């Protein structure tokens, strides 16, 4: 007899935050495939809505305009419980940090500059991923912001996507944020 796949439902929106290369999109995809959660990638949503790439938005209208679109997207994307993989700079605005905490559960995937650089094959799609020294500085600047936004932290260094996803799922269960359907 064919066994029915166990599906899970989230009770609240779950925001994956962290620097570029932390694995937010890949981990989100894995969680969606394995547990049946709905996944929304905030950068992809913005690109589709705008009909242009993130790099073009930065080039044509600058980072502030991108940040406005990013802030607006948070509310639009989290009206239902789902996994939202955010862009690495979403924590720059304090209103975004407060919004995510209030609306859902925030998982911070942490990474070092060196590991992030190894993981990102196409850096041309990330206008803020430059040389390693500036990436190190940016991570150092943002770390307190990620930490203050987070409900929990998963250090992704030395872990693969499967291991990170398993750990995130374990945390979601521990916090009673999932239910079997
Ligand atoms: C950014 C990260 C990118 C994207 C944009 C800005 C940042 O998302 O939102 O290029 O400021 O760290 P990923 O973290 O998904 O690469």
Minimal-distance CA residue to ligand 1 atom 11: 89
Band of pLDDT at residue 5, cut at 50, 70 and 90? low
The residue with tokens 């570029």 is: 20
Percentage of residues of the chain with pLDDT beyond 90? 91
Instruction: Answer yes or no: is the C-beta of 84 below 6 A from any ligand 1 atom.
Output: no
Sign of CA dihedral 79, 40, 177, 179: positive
Instruction: Answer yes or no: is the C-beta of 28 below 6 A from any ligand 1 atom.
Output: no
pLDDT tens per residue across span 82-111: 999 999 999 999 999 999 999 999 999 999
Band of pLDDT at residue 122, cut at 50, 70 and 90? confident
Residue 1's CB is within 10 A of a number of other CB atoms, namely 3
Closest atom of ligand 1 to CA, residue 126:
10
Q: How far is ligand 1, taken at its centre, from the CA of residue 50, in Å?
A: 16
Q: What is residue 117's predicted lDDT score, i.e. its pLDDT?
A: 94
pLDDT tens per residue across span 14-40: 999 999 999 999 999 999 999 999 999
Band of pLDDT at residue 123, cut at 50, 70 and 90? confident
Tokens representing residue 92 in the block: 């720059």
Q: What is residue 121's predicted lDDT score, i.e. its pLDDT?
A: 85
Closest atom of ligand 1 to CA, residue 41:
15
Minimal-distance CA residue to ligand 1 atom 9: 87
| DSSP reduced 3-state for 160 | coil
Tokens representing residue 38 in the block: 């709905």
Instruction: Answer yes or no: is the C-beta of 128 below 6 A from any ligand 1 atom.
Output: yes
pLDDT tens per residue across span 64-79: 999 999 999 999 999 9
Q: How far is ligand 1, taken at its centre, from the CA of residue 88, in Å?
A: 4
Decide if pLDDT at 4 tops 80.
Answer: no
Band of pLDDT at residue 3, cut at 50, 70 and 90? low
CA dihedral angle for residue 29, residue 164, residue 42, residue 106, rounded to 10 degrees = 130
Residue 165 contacts residue 34 (beta carbons within 8 Å): yes
């Amino acid at each position: 007899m064919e066994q029915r796949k166990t599906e899970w439902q989230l009770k609240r929106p779950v925001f994956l935050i962290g620097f570029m290369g932390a694995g937010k999109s890949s981990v989100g995809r894995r969680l969606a495939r394995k547990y049946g959660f709905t996944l929304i990638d905030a950068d992809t949503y913005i690109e589709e809505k705008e009909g242009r790439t993130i790099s073009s938005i930065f080039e044509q209208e600058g980072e502030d305009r991108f940040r406005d679109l990013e802030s607006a997207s948070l509310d639009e994307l989290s009206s239902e419980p789902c996994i939202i993989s955010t862009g690495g700079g979403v924590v720059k605005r304090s209103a975004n940090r407060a919004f995510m905490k209030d609306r859902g559960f925030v998982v911070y995937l942490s990474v070092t500059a060196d590991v992030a650089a190894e993981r990102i094959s196409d850096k041309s799609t990330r206008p803020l991923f430059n040389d390693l020294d500036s990436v190190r500085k940016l991570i150092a600047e943002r770390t307190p912001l990620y930490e203050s936004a987070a409900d929990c932290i998963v250090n992704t260094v030395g872990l693969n996507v499967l291991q990170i996803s398993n750990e995130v799922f374990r945390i979601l269960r521990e916090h009673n944020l999932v239910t079997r359907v």
